[in-house]
């Protein structure tokens, strides 16, 4: 399925999926605290594709940390910390290719990164919808049956 098949429709875009994909491309910079907006450019490139094909994007930001997932989040933080340490060690040994893989594994999408994308959306007068949980995102989508949900694998 090609994105042009959705022309004239409104699409709910799961921004965090695209933020993660965009962050992989600049993971080393993010993990080392170096400034980059490559993840914003990645998301906005997709937005431009939608707009080019006459698709109105609604940028959906969801996924606040839930108490029921606190243990999962704790394990993820620990894994990210260990992967970052491994990446820095590999980089110091000159093993940049291997280090890059570990940097990608330690990327954490921060609220500041989400704010950067929200600001870019506001500059383009796009709707940015903030939802505390995936459930509310699902309710938004089910309330508007003509709305389509676009995830990175949806568009070819």
12 backbone dihedrals φ, ψ, rounded to 5°? -85, 120
Q: Write down the pTM of the prediction.
A: 0.80
Domain boundaries, the chain: 3-65+107-150
pLDDT tens for 63-103 read 666 667 778 888 989 999 999 999 999 999 999 999 999 99
For strands 10-14 and 56-61, give the pairing. Answer: parallel
Tell me the DSSP string of 41-89: HHHHHHHHHHHHTT-EEEEEE--PPPGGGHHHHHHHHHHHHHHHHHHHH
Q: Distance between CA 118 and CA 47 in Å, rounded?
A: 12
CATH architecture designation of domain 3-65+107-150: 3-Layer(aba) Sandwich (3.40)
């Amino acid at each position: 399925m090609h994105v042009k098949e959705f022309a004239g429709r409104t699409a709910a875009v799961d921004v965090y999926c695209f933020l993660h994909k965009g962050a992989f491309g600049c993971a080393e910079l993010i993990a080392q605290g170096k400034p980059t907006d490559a993840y914003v450019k990645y998301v906005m490139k997709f937005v431009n594709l939608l707009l080019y094909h006459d698709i109105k994007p609604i940028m959906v930001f969801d996924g606040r940390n839930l108490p029921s997932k606190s243990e999962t989040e704790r394990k993820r933080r620990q894994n990210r910390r260990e992967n970052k340490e491994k990446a820095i060690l590999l980089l110091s040994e000159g093993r940049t290719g291997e280090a890059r893989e570990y940097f990608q594994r330690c990327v954490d999408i921060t609220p500041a990164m989400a704010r950067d994308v929200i600001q870019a959306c506001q500059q383009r007068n796009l709707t940015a919808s903030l939802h505390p949980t995936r459930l509310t995102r699902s309710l938004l989508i089910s309330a508007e049956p003509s709305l389509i949900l676009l995830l990175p694998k949806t568009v070819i």
